[in-house]
Chains A and B, each alone.
Chain A
Amino acid sequence: MKHRHLIAAGIAAALLGVSACGSSNDAPTGNNQAASQPKEITIWLMNGSAPDSVVQAVNKEFTAKHPGTTPKIEIQQWDGIQEKTTTALAGNTPPDVLEIGSTLVSKFADSGGLADLTGKKSDLGGDSWLKGLTEAGTLDGKIYGVPYYGGVRAVIYRTDMFTKAGISSPPTDLASFTAMLDKLQKKFGADPKFSALYFPGQYWYAALPFVWDAGGELAVQDGGQWKGALDSPQAQAGLSTLKDLVTKYSKAPVNGNENDNDPATPMGEGKAGVIIDNGWKVGVITKAHPELKGKVAVFALPGKSPGTTAPVFLGGSNLAISEGSKAPDLAYDWLKIMAGTTAQTQLATDGGVIPNSTNLLNLHAKDPILSVFDAAAKNSRSTPATPKWANVESGTILQDMLVAIFSGKSSVADATKTASEAITKTLNS
């Protein structure tokens, strides 16, 4: 869906691409003697991450600089990506450049599959990178994953429903957020399928802001050892708050996840008052329900204290160069163009994602929706930067905890204790 309007913006993009080529006149780096240049470098990008227009512009700039080399783009699917990345990095011909989901970078870096790019940080303009993505791409102080793009969640709502419920302005703190949910519930609650807040039980990305805003952490590092911290009083308080909201206002499946029970669907059908989701969901909603165009709006998830917003999870991807790349210099040049200002600007405008640099966060200033997400990105965080974190995700520890809490099968105290122990065990195994 996202693809579609990205492709629609193709012509403008092509123009931008031309200007991008014109603007780059860096001298070729030392190792690029034409004779020994490989004919091809392979780049892996994830399905739906960068619009074709951006990729083509980057390739064009790259081939202008290295006429003998063709950048071969392979779009990888999310299904089985860990398996694919694992075997590819262990193989004889790994891809030269690859996009890796931000929370997986440290896992692959730790295993020796990715090239150390620490020395290139200033060359890449690393001082202005988004903090969350930089942390995700860093392991033991070394940089392996260059921030590519980010995505954060905010509260999405329908203006027509807010008007009907008599809500005039977005809430500014958690208390007024709850009051707003009450109003929505009162107005539309006659429908048994209506959720003032639609929150599938396993949706841990959207649960993290509540933990962080209350001062809790997922895990803390203590003398080289990691320790699960969800059983701290702060984290428990945050999760209790969320539990109250979910049990009172959400009819979403407690055991559901945000893919199978996509919050965009009930929003489009008027069965959800608000949802917590990514910026592109606005387009998903209006595509299925064209009559809602212009009626979908967003605000940042408010924090506990008045006037603050809750820290949100910064998802997204990093770009890395494989340790086994046969042409690391060429790979670096491609990566540098993609991570550079021109491509990032285009990525933000064409793709609607959050660019990798804080300097570019004003690009959507005039867009009432995307500007909210850009602002939220400034107060964003990532998961603990340890190679073992990926195992916490694949072990569905957080999902199990949330389901246990929301279903009432365990108390917040018990569920967080179980989860914390599991996290401690996983991170130190």
Chain B
Amino acid sequence: MDVLDTGQPDVDSALATTTVGAPLGGAPTGPARRHRRRAGHLLPYWLLLPSVVVLVGLLAYPLFSLVTTSFRRLDLRQLIRRQTIWVGTANYRAILRDHEFWVVTLRTIVFAMVCVAATLLAGTLVALLMRRLGRGMRLLVSVGMLLAWATPTVSAATVFKWLFDEQYGVVNWLVTELTPLDWSAHSWFDSKWPAFFVLGLCVVWQAIPFVALTLYAGLTSIPEEIYEAATIDGAGAWRQFWAVTRPLLRPIFLILISLSLIWDLKVFSQLYVITRGGPSRSTLLLNLYTYNLGFGVSRFGVAAAAAVIMVVITFIATAFYIRTMIRVGEEAL
């Protein structure tokens, strides 16, 4: 019935039914309760052990090192000569006192929110579209999205920069050829907003596929009868989406928003390739700001402090979604 599910239709549809029912009801089923009685068991800890070893050894320990670094003076000289110089909170004070840091932080948050909103909106529209398409056209759309998703980020950014190039770019050429406008010398990168547009487009272009395909798979799990019933009740397309689709897919939306927000707050490769923060640092975002402090001017202690602050900001920015997500997760168990 579905091009995307050709792999194993039976299991998928079986799963789909489970999927819709479970998170909304939230009531634990019999078996789950039985497991809970064995809660004293050590098995879950054994199961977690391998992941904990990797995460602690190669993520938590470097994270700890990041925090300690943020209290050290660690320039190129100290890095190479292996000197440890503690400077207390000087790095943090330097960052917090930097006017540009606050400008960049605010800009990063707004940029991420706009990107997430655009991604979710476009992703939802594409998912709804896919539901209305026949098998062949749906395959076409999914293959297009898979191509975008599979392209290495750096290559994608290079191509986007090229497409919007003033002289060699296809976009200016098309506009000039197809419309009365003469954009043969139109620059996309000489001021802040057009540069942000290209940057955001590149980010969103690669973020939509994950969102759209996930939402589409979620949509297929909603039984057609619900919509038919809604149609009979006289609900229009918008009403159907708002009253049926949205609440049923709420958990999916939650996780997609949280993950997209986490990812878009640390956009790096596209920024590095397309504008590198220019013109005149007007598209500089937090991750590149931090990176410039580190590998740019080799003040790794200050860069570490900036990174720590950045994580705190991300945490605050996403706290609401994370709390909701965890709660939904807990209920489901």
Contact = CB atoms under 8 A, between A and B. Distances in A.
In the complex, is A directly touching B at CB under 8 Å? yes
Nearest to A392: B297
Contact of A112 (B80, B190, B277, B292): B80
Majority DSSP secondary structure for residues of B touching A: loop
Contact of A395 (B76, B190, B296): B296
Contacts of A395: 292, 296-297
Interface in A367-401: 391, 394-396, 399-400
Contacts of B187: 253-255
Interface string A397-412: 0011001100100000
Contact of B80 (A83, A89, A399): A89
A112 to B, nearest CB: 5
Interface in A91-134: 107-108, 110-113
Contacts of A291: none
Nearest to B162: A260
A118 to B, nearest CB: 19
A391 B302 CA distance: 15
Nearest to A265: B168
B278 A400 contact: yes
Contacts of A429: 297
Contacts of B276: 396
B67 to A, nearest CB: 20
B296 A394 contact: yes
A112 B75 CA distance: 11
B167 interface: yes
Contacts of B296: 391, 394-395
A63 interface: no
Contact of B295 (A86, A110, A265): A86
Interface residues of A, number: 34
Nearest to A110: B77
Nearest to B79: A90
A111 B276 CA distance: 26
B158 to A, nearest CB: 10
Contacts of A193: 167, 184
A223 interface: no
A377 B195 CA distance: 38
Interface string B272-290: 0000111111000000000
B76 A404 contact: no
Given A90-B79, A108-B76, A255-B279, 5 more contacts: A111-B298, A193-B167, A251-B185, A391-B298, A400-B281
14 contacts: A83-B295, A86-B79, A193-B167, A253-B165, A253-B167, A253-B187, A261-B168, A265-B168, A323-B80, A391-B298, A396-B276, A403-B280, A407-B190, A429-B297
